[in-house]
Structures are given as structure tokens and as C-alpha cells.
Amino acid sequence: MPPRRSHKKSRAGCQRCKLRKVKCDEAHPICGNCTKHGVPCDFDDPSALSPPNSLVRYTTPSSSSNSSSTPKPSPSSSTSHQFPPSPNLPFHLDPPLPSTTLSPYSPTSRATELRLLHTYTTLTAPTLAWGDTPPAALAWQLAVPNLAFNTPCLMDALLAIAALHLRALTPSDPSLPRLFHAYMASALSSYTATLHSGVTAENGPALFATAALIAFQASASRRFLNEPGSEAEPYSLPTQWFHAFQGVKTVVIAAWPFLRSSDIRPIISAQPALALDLHPSRPAFFDDLLVGLDEQLLSLEEGERDETRRAYEHSVAYLNWAHARPEKARIVGFPATVSRRFIELVDRADSRALAVIASFFAMTRAVDGAWWLSGVARKEVRGILGLLDEEWRERVGWA
């Protein structure tokens, strides 16, 4: 990444921005962030804030009648799932670009958000279904926006992914990267706060949809790296892609009792893992990736060997399963299906794990027509091969 420009840290921001740990533009009488979210600002009214130890819910104009504090799960509910107070978030986002806030009450802002919402419902939503699954596409198109009207983090994530899609369609529009960063930063902030308060029947479906949209942006953002005219950066592994989809899996597990009877169940039912068949008799196109595994395991601590073997064997078995019928649903399900141990191996840049994900990205050429995957296969395969030695490059030479 390009070096950050030095700046003097200001301590004069409003209290609400300090609680959210976001940069305040210090505009008076209401700062830009508070204006964007339609919430009281202590510059205008010093008594507007809740006590500092409470979680604040940032509302959009469409939900401004709601309480300003995040509702806590009912003490009588035994099905609320708590997340740790400071999770290692499974995604990365560059800081918002300057001048990204828009007043929710200005005609310009309203027109922009209507444009993004229209883009999402008419263009983006149909591309998010895993395959030829009309019920899932309809859920993305209708059920998800309906949830978003009452869930700020989902609405922000929805508008962010629409801005990213528009950027792919109209790369000459300089406002779209700013809009994407502004809405996604806001989505991540409120999503994290809601996770901390617990997954409940009320927020479970919306949290799943938000996590899924965050994962899609982690995938789609890779296509904009090293664009023509931008400063070239060294290749970095797409670890955030895998972590983001693992995050979706975590939310599904926590929210499943609430998802199975919700309007977005068709999205879950279309997941490829539900049809996963890893029978040993399946054709083994990728089994060369397991050659020498026994010797490699001997170099590990005894307690790590079994889990590491399972991580490799499962990931390669999934590739064989997807390769036997290379459909979009099967191929793109790989990052969410592999184990956390496998992700750890990718994080360590383990050669065998890198060869596995190079093979995965090579297979994504079959679905390169999806806007959020366009051009990604070529970039990732080339980048990963550059990190491997000659022996491993030969094993994935077909890629």
C-alpha cells in the first residue's frame, strides 16, 4: 500500500465519532459522520450522547425512530450467541477516502442512495446467488433489502456492494471508490457492534446477509488492485477473501436457529456445501497436491499432524469434487468450506496450501463472467506462482 500521509491527530472530534473510533471532520454544528447517519451530534447538543459505556446504534433516516442504543438480547433468551468483545475481524478495508460523507437530507445524497439501491436490486442482487437458483436470487433481490430498511449495517453493506459493482461497470466515475469506502466503513463499524451485543432472532438474518456482502466485497475488491494508472504494489496473498467467507460460516452457525425459518433461507439452501460429496472413489485430478504429505507432517509437532492432514485432504477432496462438475456454486464455495487450520496454513504461506489455492483460483476461470470475479483468476494464479519454488510450480503447471 502507498505510505500514509502524516497528519496531526486531533482530539477535538465529537464524542460519538470517538466512540466509533472514526475520524471526525469537526464540522459544526453537526459533524459529517453524525449528519450521514442521521443521529444527534454533541457539537449541536452536548446531552445527545448515551453514557460512554453503552453501545450506540447508528441509525439511518429510514430507521431514525428506533432507539439510539443497541438492544441487548433478552435475559430470558437462551439462544442468543455472544461474540468476543474484540474479535479479530475477518476482513480488511482501507481507511475511507476524504470527502466521503454525504448529508442524508440533501437531494444529492438521496439521489445517490436511490441510484445505489436501484443498482443493487436490478443488477447486483441477481449476481450474488451461487448458481442457477431463482429462489436464492429472489431472496437477495427482495428479502435482503427488506431487512436492510431496519438494519443500518446491512443497508450500508448493500449500498457499498452496489457502489463497488457500479465501479466495475463505470470505472471512470471517481465518486464510486469514495462511496464504497464510506458505506463499507460504516457497515463494518455497526456490524461489529451488533455482533458484540449477540446474535438473536431479531438480528440473525440481517447479520448473515451483512457478513455475506462483506465477503463478496473482499472478493470483488481484489479485481481493482494494480489497475492501469495506479501505483503498482507487490503481490499479497488473498487471505482476507478466505477469512471473510469463514466469517460468514461462523455467523451461519450462530444464527442457524433463526435462519432456517427466515425469508433468506433460500440463500442458505443454495450453498454448495449442502450437496458436498467427498467419496474416496471420486476422480482425483488434484491428488498430486498431496504427494509428500506424510514426510511434511513428520516435521510438525505430533499434536498438529492429524488436524493438518485433515485440512489438506479435505481441501484437495473439495477441489476434486468441484472439478468433476465445474459449476459456479461448487467452485466459489471453496473458501467457505475449507477448515480454519487450512486458512492458518495459507496465512503462513505454506507451499502446499498455496498450491491448493492456486488450483482453486485457476478453476475460477470457469466463472470469470461474474463481475466480482472478473480477471481475478489470472492475477491470483500469477501472484501465487511467483511465491512458489520450481517443484511446486510444476505441480500446478496446468493452472
* Domain range summary for the chain, segments of one domain joined by +: 11-58, 105-270, 275-395
Q: Would residue 389 be called left, alpha or beta, if left means φ above 0 and alpha means ψ between -120 and 50 degrees?
A: beta
CA–CA distances in Å: residue 340 to residues 48, 136, 246, 251 = 43, 27, 8, 14
In whole angstroms, give the CA distance from residue 101 to residue 37.
9
> Which amino acid is present at 25?
D
The pLDDT of residue 373 is 84
Yes or no: say if 121 and 145 are a contact pair by the CB < 8 Å rule. Answer: yes
CATH 4.10.240.10 matches 11-58 = yes
Contacts of 316 (CB under 8 A, 6+ apart): 286, 287, 289, 290, 356
In this prediction, residue 39 carries a pLDDT of 60
SS3 76: coil
pLDDT in tens, the chain (399 residues): 444 444 444 456 777 777 666 777 666 656 767 666 656 666 544 444 433 333 233 333 333 334 333 344 443 343 555 554 333 444 444 444 444 444 444 556 889 999 999 999 999 999 998 766 789 999 999 999 999 999 999 999 999 999 999 999 999 999 999 999 999 999 999 999 999 999 999 999 999 999 999 999 998 998 888 665 566 678 899 998 899 999 999 999 999 999 999 999 999 888 766 556 666 556 688 989 999 999 999 999 988 999 999 999 999 999 998 888 888 778 888 998 999 999 999 999 999 999 999 999 999 988 777 888 888 888 999 999 999 999 999 988 776
Determine the pLDDT at residue 279.
Answer: 65
Instruction: From 385, 366, 356, select the one nearest 286 (Cα to Cα).
Output: 356
Predicted local distance difference test score (pLDDT) of residue 88: 42
What's this model's pTM, rounded to 2 decimal places?
0.72
Distances 76 to 73, 79, 80, 200 between C-alpha atoms, Å: 8, 9, 10, 12
Residue pair 189/176 in contact by the 8 Å Cβ criterion: no
* CA proximity to 119, closest of 46, 170, 55: 170
